Amino acid sequence: MKREKISELTTNRLSVYLRCLNELATAGIETVSSQELAEQFNLNSAQIRKDLGYFGEFGVRGTGYFIDDLRAHLTKILGLDKPHRVGIIGAGRLGTALANYNGLSKSNFTVVALFDNDPNKIGDHVGHDRIPVFDGRKIAKIVRDEEIDVAVIAVPARSAQRVLNQVMAAGVKAILNFAPAPLKARLGVKVKTVDLTTSLESLSYFLAQPSSALVTNGNGVSAARAEITQADQTTL
């Protein structure tokens, strides 16, 4: 792998490429070129080659990429070759909805615990997997006992920084934040914020532009719409 720093946008796109390759593998396809991958999934072939080039040479001239091999490489690069155990802080409607998200069943992420300060929720179990709700004051102990390495913050904005501090003190270094608040993490801790309002306002900006301002590319798809599609794919 090259020594230069890999951007988060690049790693986001790797996740998209992996999902696309999984679809092709399910369909029984064994090889694919960057151009074929781009055309089928509305991606950019040059960007695909550039992103993969950061991590090595995976393609074979005249053949393209062997799908199973590239899937294995991307799985390892993204750290998905080992399971991740997730704790959700906040057992409200958002937290329980995330715990019940069926998409995680197809990934290496498993929600093993929820936390809340409401005594009426502590001791409950959520969803088909009966995920237990623990007292929020026991985060450090449960993180250790359950070997949690990823935390999700689903609490009101006013409580988010305090919860982040608790999670960091417990030793968790990867946090997904749904609270609409700017959070300060210490060195060595990665916080990724999902801001639904910002995403919706970005879509509102797109809708507010006059149609005459949209430039159509050679495939009949507007360049602006293609860019938004690509941005959406790389941030989910």
- Over the chain (236 residues), the average pLDDT of each successive run of 10 is 72 95 97 96 96 92 94 95 96 95 85 97 94 97 97 97 97 96 94 89 87 46 37 37
Strand partners, 216: 222
pLDDT digits (tens, 9 = 90+) for 64-86: 999 999 999 999 999 999 999 99
Reported as type and span, the H/E element at residue 69 is helix 67-77
Q: Find the domain containing 14 and state its range.
A: 8-77
Euclidean distance between the first and the last CA atom of the chain, given in angstroms as a whole number: 25
Taking the model in full, what pTM does it have? Answer: 0.80
* Any domain includes 1: no
Cβ atoms of residues 172 and 163 within 8 Å:
no
**CATH code for the domain of 21:** 1.10.10.10
Examine the domain organization and report whether 18 and 61 are in the same domain.
yes
Which amino acid makes up residue 231?
A
Beta pairing class for 31-32 and 65-66 = antiparallel
The domain total for the chain is: 3
Examine the domain organization and report whether 97 and 182 are in the same domain.
yes
pLDDT digits (tens, 9 = 90+) for 105-130: 778 999 999 999 999 999 999 988 89
Distance CA 12, CA 172 (A): 21
